[in-house]
Amino acid sequence: MQGVITPLIMIIAILVSLTTMSAGLIWMERRLLALWQDRYGPNRVGPFGLLQVVADMLKIFAKEDWVPPFSDRFVFILAPAVIMSAVLFAFAVVPFAPGISVIDLDIGILFFLAMSSLNIYGIVLAGWASNSKYSLLGGVRGAAQMLSYEVFMGLSLMGVVMLVGTFNLRGIVEAQQGLWFFVPQFPALVIFFIAGLAETHRIPFDLPEAENELVAGYHTEYSGMKFGMFFVGEYLGIVLISALITTLFFGGWLGPVLPPVIWFLLKTMFFIMLFILLRAALPRPRFGQLMSFGWKLMLPLSLLNVLATGAALLLLA
Amino acid sequence: MEALFYVSGTVAMISTLRVVTGKNAVHALLYLVVSLLAAALVFYSLGAPFIAALEVIIYAGAIMVLFVFVIMMLNLGPGAERQKKGLLDPKAWAGPALLALVLVLELLYLFAGGGLEGPPRAAYINPKAVALALFGPYFIGVELASLLLLAALVAAWHLGRREKEGIR
């Protein structure tokens, strides 16, 4: 029994802390955005406005769980669940610290890529099942954008994989004892970060939900907790990408003095804040610009990075 | 591990059967996605995690999304009303969801058990073994496939370009 109970406790602890953290991020994003835009942001409910999230959550849970009569009922309900579960499954391979991870898969990176490609279904099905033109356009945009950026998201990681010789995320962290990989793999870091922005469809790449053209894009027809799941799913995606940047390029839990988990959290928090700063700083491109930027600039760059890494490894070997 | 193999194999067979017998294109596609995920788990239980991951990334995650994409676009054309009548039937969606739920439970069981101890029958095939096979004895096959893909790429580029000029 011991062999089942310990992993179960680990899974529950990680799930609870992740969902709480991403709900807390909503408050953090609003406060930080306000700071960068010379406003106060939510500062009335509780100390520093921290209880604002609790109030919002209570409100969203109490809202009527409404399904539009013209929608495809079952897929409509399924789509938010797909988003949440795909992101949460991807966290299973993230090594938070030695001994703190759900599963130590040999194909860790590939598992993450697989889950992020299944994530597309949430958006596509939500857009299609809503049976409304704005939702459908958002869904189509989301599918095209995420499919394209996934290609070189995977390619950018291959440089790291070539350096270490394994897809195992724990192995990758341990290989960074001497040198964090953002030094030899700086182009890969930039490409992965941009692809991560597109995968989580955050500003500047939030075209699937561009509010000035598509109302709210693929989740236009959603309300109540189903909308809340899209919302929390988006923040979970940010946490996931930040955690992976930390793991792959910034030495994961490695660091002096402080305990490993604290190092991991600190580094992840830094990248989450970078995501929020980008939202405060950048405008949104047109969809054509987004696609041509991806295929004409990022794809050749990531291929060049793989080529250069391979050549360097051959020369040094 | 053996039970995992049989359960996911059964799920794959049932859902593939539903792909063939289903009348509605989108329903059939969702069953096909479930079937591919089940096939991935079959590969995993046989000790080929690399192939399992590729199955999910490429087939379920990319090719099937493109299929759904196309069907979504087609649904907007004339005759959409006739199609929508069938799509609104909630009974059609219960099947794929139930089968996917079985897969999710299997995955949870895997995680709860701490992962793969040792596959029962076949040897454990890691990514390196796949790479060595592809660029060793099957080198010509890889090159031929890449030629085929290049031809498809050139053709797609050509078609896309012509259409753009027509719009202008």
Question: Is residue B77 over pLDDT 60?
Answer: no
B86 vs A26: which has the higher pLDDT = A26
Tell me, yes or no, whether B58 and B139 share the same domain: no
Q: Which domain holds residue B149?
A: 126-168
Closest CA–CA distance from residue B29 to any residue of chain A (Å): 12
How many degrees, rounded to 5, is the angle at CA A192 between CA A191 and CA A194?
Answer: 65
- Residue B66: what pLDDT? 83
- C-alpha closest to that of B36 among B97, B122, B100: B100
Residues of B near A (CB-CB distance < 8 A)? 26, 33, 49-50, 52-54, 56-57, 60-62, 65-66, 68-69, 72-73, 75-76, 84, 87-88, 90, 92-94, 97, 104, 107, 110-115, 126-127
- Residue A316: what pLDDT? 85
A178 vs A306: which has the higher pLDDT = A306
Tell me, yes or no, whether B84 and B37 share the same domain: yes
Tell me, yes or no, whether B156 and B107 share the same domain: no
Q: Where are the beta strands (DSSP E) in chain A?
A: none
Give the mean model confidence (pLDDT) for residues B96-117.
Answer: 76
Tell me, yes or no, whether B25 and B100 share the same domain: yes
Tell me, yes or no, whether B132 and B52 share the same domain: no
Tell me, yes or no, whether B115 and B53 share the same domain: yes
Virtual torsion, Cα A301, A287, A125, A151, nearest 10 deg: -10
Closest CA–CA distance from residue A42 to any residue of chain B (Å): 39
Give the mean model confidence (pLDDT) for residues B42-69.
Answer: 83
- Residue B168: what pLDDT? 47
Q: Percent of chain A having pLDDT more than 90?
A: 2
Provide the whole-model pTM.
0.81
Q: Give the Cα separation of A125 and B38 in Å (integer).
A: 20
- Residue B151: what pLDDT? 93
Tell me, yes or no, whether B103 and B143 share the same domain: no
- Residue A210: what pLDDT? 73
Model confidence pLDDT, tens digit, residues A20-44: 888 788 888 888 888 888 888 888 8
- Pick from A89, A118, A124: CB nearest B68: A124
- Residue B148: what pLDDT? 93
Tokens of A291: 């696609």
Question: Is residue B147 over pLDDT 90?
Answer: yes
- Pick from A103, A111, A131: CB nearest B53: A111
Tell me, yes or no, whether B17 and B68 share the same domain: yes
Tell me, yes or no, whether B146 and B109 share the same domain: no
pLDDT band, very low/low/confident/very high, at A220 (cuts 50, 70, 90): confident
- Pick from B53, B60, B111: CB nearest A11: B111
Tell me, yes or no, whether B10 and B71 share the same domain: yes
Phi-psi region of A217 (alpha: psi -120 to 50; beta: other; left: phi over 0): left
Model confidence pLDDT, tens digit, residues B110-142: 777 665 555 455 567 777 788 888 888 888 988
Contact A255, A176 (CB under 8 A): no
Question: Is residue A209 over pLDDT 50?
Answer: yes
Closest CA–CA distance from residue A204 to any residue of chain B (Å): 23
Contact A73 B33 (CB under 8 A): no
Question: Is residue B52 over pLDDT 90?
Answer: no
Question: Is residue A69 over pLDDT 50?
Answer: yes
Contact A220, A214 (CB under 8 A): yes
Structural domain count, chain B: 2
3-state SS, one letter per residue, for A69-128: CCCCHHHHHHHHHHHHHHHHHHHHHCCCECCECCCCCCCHHHHHHHHHHHHHHHHHHHHH
Model confidence pLDDT, tens digit, residues B6-50: 888 888 888 888 877 766 677 778 888 889 889 888 888 887 888
Judged by DSSP in three states, A168 sits in coil
- Pick from B33, B53, B72: CB nearest A128: B72
Tell me, yes or no, whether B117 and B139 share the same domain: no
- Pick from A102, A118, A127: CB nearest B61: A118
Question: Is residue A183 over pLDDT 50?
Answer: yes
| Chain A residues lying within 8 Å of B92, measured CB to CB | 74
Give the mean model confidence (pLDDT) for residues A157-174.
Answer: 86
Contact B97 A113 (CB under 8 A): no
- Residue A147: what pLDDT? 85
Residues of A near B (CB-CB distance < 8 A)? 3-4, 7-8, 11, 72-75, 78, 85, 89, 92, 102-107, 110-111, 113-114, 117-118, 120-121, 124-125, 127-128, 131, 136, 139-140, 143-144, 147, 150, 154, 167
- C-alpha closest to that of A143 among A162, A164, A119: A119
CATH code for position B46: 1.20.120.1200
Q: Using the 3D structure, point to which of B88, B105, B121 is the last residue of a domain.
A: B121
Contact A153, A196 (CB under 8 A): yes
Question: Is residue A144 over pLDDT 80?
Answer: yes
Cα separations in angstroms, B74 against A5, B63, B85:
49, 17, 15
Tell me, yes or no, whether B87 and B154 share the same domain: no
Q: Percent of chain A having pLDDT more than 70?
A: 99
